[in-house]
Amino acid sequence: MKKRALITGVNGQDGSYLAEYLIGCGYDVIGTLRSAAYRKDYLLNLEGFECVEADFTSQSKINDLLLAVKPTEIYNFAAYSSGSGMFDDPIEIAEINGVSVARILEGIVSIDSNIRFCQASSSEMFGFVDETPQSENTRFNPRTPYGAAKLYAHNMVNIYRKHFGVFACSAILYNHESPRRGLNFVTRKIVNAAVSIKNKETDKLTLGALDVKRDWGFSEDYVKAMHLMLQYGYPDDYVIASGVAHTVRDICQIAFDHLGLDYRKFVEVTQSSSRAPETLDLVGDSSKAREILGWKPSLEFAELIRMMVDAEIKSFK
């Protein structure tokens, strides 16, 4: 039987890369949008793909969606944006990033308990970390409403897996980027500004602390890991990360160097843009995914940033 994947939040970078990948694997793919009018260009001519509008605030509508689509696998990317919006509207963040996941899992139990489910969890669940790197066994201590809501969803995945027997996995994703990343994320903000400066559209870039470190990888690599999780013999949770920390300064240097510019001449630092200081780095230990699933990233950090710059140049032209 041909597999059918339901991808929530398909408009985002993760959902769109996964849709392309699964269609290449022979799947029928259905993606959910809040409104079909907002379908992104890279999904418009994708053969074997269809999109539907969905409301994840209603249990009955989720059940109706599962009955209509009849998916064999569900990948959940529907979420209130992170990036600079981790503290925006905590109630809405809790509803979409947390409670809606419980509704999807409840829908699986009610409609078809054979559906396999993968949740896009987040390294933000670790928050104020007390060890580096972080693994699946590291204590969670979220520092934002976004991280807290993701942790609720993560816990519900575990509950439905253990209590109801749902094949439910949680992918604890560290920062992952691509040319499809939104401008509210620092990687794309830097790349966009660098190209704009090169083309004399602007003359400076304002950022917070440049020495903040994160573990950055490539979106397409990370969604492939989620697919591997649902093909494995039993459900589990996995950290998906590069395992290497880089600074915001590193992004600036690579992006501007790729354009023949010295970032120090154009980047202005303001403390008002800075987050609270961190004592330990948020870096993932993905050895479990590498050993059990055979997963590994395909792009190094510098390659990723240069690829984003090249895509931004094409978009600018």
Question: Please, are residues 178 and 217 in contact by the beta-carbon 8 Å criterion?
Answer: no
Distance CA 184, CA 122 (A): 17
253 backbone dihedrals φ, ψ, rounded to 5°: -65, -45
Q: Report which of 191, 189, 137 is spatially closest to residue 309, judged by C-alpha positions.
A: 191
- Pairing between strand 213-214 and 246-247? antiparallel
Question: Please, are residues 154 and 119 in contact by the beta-carbon 8 Å criterion?
Answer: yes
- Pairing between strand 267-269 and 205-207? parallel
146 is catalytic: yes
Which of 100, 121, 122, 178 is flagged as catalytic? Answer: 122
> How many Cβ atoms from other residues are within 10 Å of residue 254's Cβ?
22
Distance of CA 238 to the CA centre of its chain: 14
Which pair of structure tokens corresponds to residue 122? 């987040």
Which pair of structure tokens corresponds to residue 117? 């489910």
122 is catalytic: yes
Which of 80, 146, 160, 238 is flagged as catalytic? Answer: 146
Which pair of structure tokens corresponds to residue 179? 């040319």
Distance CA 227, CA 32 (A): 18
Residue pointed to by tokens 């985002």: 12
Distance CA 206, CA 279 (A): 24
Which of 20, 73, 124, 177 is flagged as catalytic? Answer: 124
Residues marked active site are found at 122, 124, 146
